[in-house]
Structure 1
Amino acid sequence: MAEPSTNSGTKAAEKDTAAVELTDSGTAVEGTARKKAPAARKPPKHGFLSRLYTGTGAFEVIGKRRMWYAISGAMVAIAIVSILVRGFTFGIDFAGGTKVSFPRGETSITQVEQVFRDAVGSSPESVVVVGNGTSATVQIRAETLTNEQTDKLRDALYEAFQPVGPDGQPSKQAISDSAVSETWGGQITQKAVIALVVFLLLASFYITVRYEWFMTISAMISMVFDVVVTAGVYSLVGFEVTPATVIGLLTILGFSIYDTVIVFDKVEENTHGFEHKSKLTYAEQANLAINQTFMRSINTSLISALPIIALMVVAVWLLGVGTLQDLALVQLVGVIVGTYSSIYLATPLLVSLRERTELVQNHTRRVMRRRKAASTSKAAPAALDEADDTDDVDDEDETTVDAAAPAAPVPGAKPVRPTSRRTQRPTGKPGAGR
């Protein structure tokens, strides 16, 4: 007779061995009957430049607006303290006085000051050297001098330094002078203030017509911030405030309002009909708009700053034109400050003002309730899954116990007679109860 095959028994033993494993401590651990669910894939990590170009809202600006308010307040405080303590160095066009200039040559500032004192009898207000190399000039600024004092000073400078004219020969014509009365300086100051006020009014009118009052208030505060901080930088550096400075200031205010309008335009696009949506709050939509315009603002600032830097390098250091130095400095500072204020001040102010309205408050509460309900609904299936896993483990335990029950009766146990399914009475037929 052929021997019974042991393949089925071997497979059953291997299955039992796979189902039960021993730990280091000797405790039996049940093998995993089902495959584990695949782990959630982590979102890909993007670099700084990638997040900057994609504009997906990765940079939190609105959420940290208190920090930006503190930084902006500190900048304004430093500027105001500098203006009150150091003041401004007004140019001759604003303060009035006499200005004398001539080619530098081998002249030093101390020598020029000494010649001025000997000729006029008082010290000059300032003596500066503008430019480099052969194009360098000495500029003397003093209080308003009479015609006799001016002629005497020119003679003394010519005898002491022998300035060279355009033909390469010493010439008294190489020494130039100009005088501005205090009345003229006052008129220039008044016109500059009027031009600044008119610009602010026109900008306010445009933003109000194009957008809304909240954006107008935010933009005006941002522009006042630009003016104060730029003025504070001028006070700290000590550059002269000239008509070119006023022109540059109006230019950078135009740049600032342009950059602010770009961001506001995107905010308006994102928040259009926001009260009918419940996915993002107004603040989150505004923060997304800032992220979406980050690269545009940076590119605009860089493109604007490159010609200004070229103006400072070529016109100031190579050509020695002091007026262009004032214009270049105010424009460079204004571009940097204007870019900062349009992103980190104007838009956060807009959100703070809008969050005071009942419409935005109700919408924010609705979004938060929706998110809370969504998180609760996600938590409930997770709990049910855990309960199902526990029930499955219990069922598997029972199945394991049933499978492990001996098929043959235990010696000494009372035999179980087959019963009928219909009458539940003992019967002599084998397999009747199955």
Structure 2
Amino acid sequence: MPALRDIARGEAHFNIIGRFRMWATISGVVLIASLGGLFGRHLNLSIDFKGGTSFTVPVCPGSALTGVSSAKAVQDAQNALSQYNLGDVRAQLQTNPTGATQAEGSACSSATELLMRTPHIKDQQITLPAVQKTLAQLAGQTDQNQVSFTDVGPTWGKQISNKALRGLIVFLILVTIYISIRFEPKMAAGAIAALFHDLLATAGIYALLGIAVTPATVIALLTLLGYSLYDTVVVFDKIRENVGASGSTGRQSYTDVVNDSVNKVLMRSINTSLSTLLPIGALLFVGVFLFHATTLEDLAVALFIGTIVGTYSSIFIASPILAALKEREPRYKAVRERIATGDFRGTAGRPVTRPARQVSAAEYVAQAATAVEENGGADGRPKQAPGGPMRVQRAAPKPRKKKKKKRR
């Protein structure tokens, strides 16, 4: 296809910056949906952040949880623990990635697990074993030791959350300082807006899909923010190069320079994203289907979602925001006004060559034929006048210099 060929050669002419309203509308819909997920369903934080106790038990066929619907089974599991006054109790039925297996000491082979999450249980001697026994009976297990649990205190979970938030704030501050010094503050504003877009969109997808947020997810989020920043810096560097070449001469507005720059690095951004998504997809496949490693799955899912969102924001969010901010400067506002009025003059009043209008092949042939008819025949000889042969005026010969005679 011609469009793909132009993208591959860096010769694409898509009006990316001019359609900023369309990109803003798409991003607005995604962000509104993300905010709805964050405030409606909330993030599914793991106990590493919230603190608490997590129980997991295989569900045997024929137990009280298998003869009813999933919603009824979850409700029955939550009601079974209400007698212990644990507070907010959440239940979830999940499929074991390894398939139907029978653990040592288990009463059955099962592919379904019951996951229970409760606040931190302080009484480790009486209440905790009682909860294990109740869940084992509910799942059809004869041994309460088949109920595995993980307990994280609220202090540890709060420390993890504070460190993650502190790391994100430090990252954003350092990014702002670096781009402001390396490029300019308005480019830093565009880059930070793109990073917030990536962070909010990824968090919203996690909330809407109910994916658990673990420490591995936070690590992946910081990694993808760095990747998104790298892609944005590549685009900004090309913009600065083109602005230095032609952006201040009055031939192009700043928006046109940004649009040309984005088109030239479009193929590079696509190649970088694809080369990043392929190993992430392999990591996701290995983590989910081969090794059944939960940590790899959490890391790969966040990286996969964030890479796609980051590539989009670096092209369709950061660059249009930069163009909108720069067009407000008097320097580039004057350039736009001169282009609109057709006064192609430089900043010092010197004439600037008007950009050549691209013509089609048919127009070029017609113009060439007209020039031949006006200046001469098809054989290149001058046309004769209607009354006879055309007289050609010749320049008068220069007078010869007289040679001085030498005296003998």
1:327, CA displacement in angstroms? 2.5
1:175, CA displacement in angstroms? 4.1
Match of 1:303 in 2: 275
Instruction: Give 2:128's match in structure 1, choosing from 134, 150, 153.
Output: 150
Instruction: Give 2:170's match in structure 1, choosing from 171, 177, 198.
Output: 198
Instruction: Give 2:99's match in structure 1, choosing from 133, 145, 151.
Output: 133
Matches within 5 A, 1:243-322: 243-274=215-246, 276-322=248-294
Q: Is the 8 A contact 2:195 2:229 kept in 1?
A: yes
Larger Rg: 1
1:108/1:306 CA distance change after superposition, 3 Å:
farther
Q: What per-residue deviation string (whole Å, max 9, x for no partner) do you get for residues 4-46 of structure 1?
A: xxxxxxxxxxxxxxxxxxxxxxxxxxxxxxxxxxxxxxxxxx6
Matches within 5 A, 1:362-401: 362-368=334-340, 369=342, 374=354
Q: Is the 8 A contact 2:56 2:114 kept in 1?
A: yes
Q: Is the 8 A contact 2:78 2:90 kept in 1?
A: no
Q: Which amino acid aligns with 1:277?
A: T
Within 1, Cα distance between the matches of 2:203 and 2:54? 24
2:150 is paired with a residue whose SS is: strand
Q: Which amino acid aligns with 2:83?
A: G
Q: Which amino acid aligns with 2:130?
A: K
1:160/1:293 CA distance change after superposition, 3 Å:
same
Q: What per-residue deviation string (whole Å, max 9, x for no partner) do you get for residues 172-222 of structure 1?
A: 665432112223222221111111101101111111121111100100111
Within 2, Cα distance between the matches of 1:189 and 1:69? 32
Q: Which amino acid aligns with 1:97?
A: G
Match of 1:358 in 2: 330
1:274/1:317 CA distance change after superposition, 3 Å:
same
Match of 1:71 in 2: 26
Match of 2:348 in 1: none
Q: 2:51 aligned with 1:85, yes or no?
A: no
Compare 195-204 and 296-305 and name the one that shifted more.
296-305
Within 2, Cα distance between the matches of 1:276 and 1:253? 32
1:131 is paired with a residue whose SS is: coil
Q: Is the 8 A contact 2:64 2:138 kept in 1?
A: no
Q: Is the 8 A contact 1:57 1:287 kept in 2?
A: no
1:108/1:338 CA distance change after superposition, 3 Å:
farther
Match of 1:226 in 2: 198
Match of 1:394 in 2: none
1:67/1:350 CA distance change after superposition, 3 Å:
same
Match of 2:361 in 1: none
Matches within 5 A, 1:29-48: 47-48=2-3
Q: What per-residue deviation string (whole Å, max 9, x for no partner) do you get for residues 348-378 of structure 1?
A: 1001111000111223334452569959999
Within 2, Cα distance between the matches of 1:299 and 1:60? 20
Q: Is the 8 A contact 1:105 1:134 kept in 2?
A: no
Match of 2:321 in 1: 349
Within 2, Cα distance between the matches of 1:275 and 1:371? 13
1:62/1:115 CA distance change after superposition, 3 Å:
closer
1:293, CA displacement in angstroms? 1.2
TM norm structure 1: 0.68
1:115, CA displacement in angstroms? 6.8
1:107/1:365 CA distance change after superposition, 3 Å:
farther
Match of 2:349 in 1: none
Compare 149-158 and 347-356 and name the one that shifted more.
149-158
| Structure ranking higher in helix proportion | 1
1:359/1:119 CA distance change after superposition, 3 Å:
closer
Q: Which amino acid aligns with 1:260?
A: T
Match of 2:393 in 1: none
1:157/1:211 CA distance change after superposition, 3 Å:
same
1:133 is paired with a residue whose SS is: coil
Q: Which amino acid aligns with 1:74?
A: V
Match of 1:121 in 2: 83
Q: 2:21 aligned with 1:54, yes or no?
A: no
Instruction: Give 1:210's match in structure 2, choosing from 182, 188, 204.
Output: 182
Q: Is the 8 A contact 1:275 1:359 kept in 2?
A: no
Within 2, Cα distance between the matches of 1:348 and 1:218? 8
Q: Is the 8 A contact 1:109 1:128 kept in 2?
A: no
Q: Is the 8 A contact 1:274 1:282 kept in 2?
A: no
Q: What per-residue deviation string (whole Å, max 9, x for no partner) do you get for residues 395-434 of structure 1?
A: xxx979xxxxxxxxxxxxxxxxxxxxxxxxxxxxxxxxxx
Within 1, Cα distance between the matches of 2:274 and 2:197? 21
RMSD of Structure 2 on Structure 1 (CA): 3.9
Q: Is the 8 A contact 1:221 1:346 kept in 2?
A: yes
Structure 1, unaligned runs of 5 or more: 1-45, 164-169, 390-397, 401-434
1:142/1:320 CA distance change after superposition, 3 Å:
farther
Q: Is the 8 A contact 2:251 2:354 kept in 1?
A: no
Give the share of equivalent positions with the same residue, in percent: 34
Structure 2, unaligned runs of 5 or more: 67-72, 102-110, 346-352, 359-366, 375-384, 388-408
